[in-house]
C-alpha cells in the first residue's frame, strides 16, 4: 500500500469494488483496461478519455465501464 492512499469502496458496473485509485484513469489501469477503447461514466455523467486523468473518484461513486461489442 502506498503512503497517503486509503482504500475506499466504489461501485464498478454495479459491483462493490475496493480500490486505492484516486482517478478514473488509475482505476482503469488497476482493473486491466489500460489503453483499451472503453466508454466511461461516473455517477451517470459521461467522462471522455481526455478527462479521465482529472476525474477524481470518491467513496461510493458509481463507475460504468462499457467495452465495444462486435455484431449488430
pLDDT value of residue 3: 55
What sign results for the dihedral spanned by CA atoms 10, 15, 21, 22? negative
Q: Does the pTM exceed 0.85?
A: yes
Residue 16 lies in a domain: yes
CATH number of the domain bearing residue 50? 3.10.20.30
How many residues make up the chain in this entry?
72
**How many distinct structural domains can be found in the chain?**
1
- In-domain check, residue 31: yes
For the segment 15-72, what is each residue's pLDDT rounded down to a tens digit? 999 999 999 999 999 999 988 899 999 999 999 999 999 999 999 999 999 998 877 6
Grid coordinates standing for 6? 486509503
In a domain, 19, yes or no: yes
Task: Calculate the dihedral angle through the C-alpha atoms of 53, 58, 61, 66, rounding to the nearest 10 degrees.
Answer: 20
Amino acid at each position: 500500500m502506498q503512503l497517503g492512499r486509503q482504500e475506499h469502496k466504489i461501485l464498478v458496473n454495479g459491483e462493490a469494488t475496493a480500490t486505492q485509485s484516486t482517478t478514473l484513469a488509475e482505476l482503469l489501469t488497476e482493473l486491466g483496461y489500460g489503453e483499451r477503447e472503453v466508454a466511461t461514466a461516473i455517477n451517470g455523467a459521461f467522462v471522455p478519455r481526455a478527462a479521465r486523468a482529472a476525474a477524481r473518484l470518491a467513496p461510493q461513486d458509481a463507475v460504468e465501464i462499457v467495452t465495444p461489442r462486435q455484431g449488430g
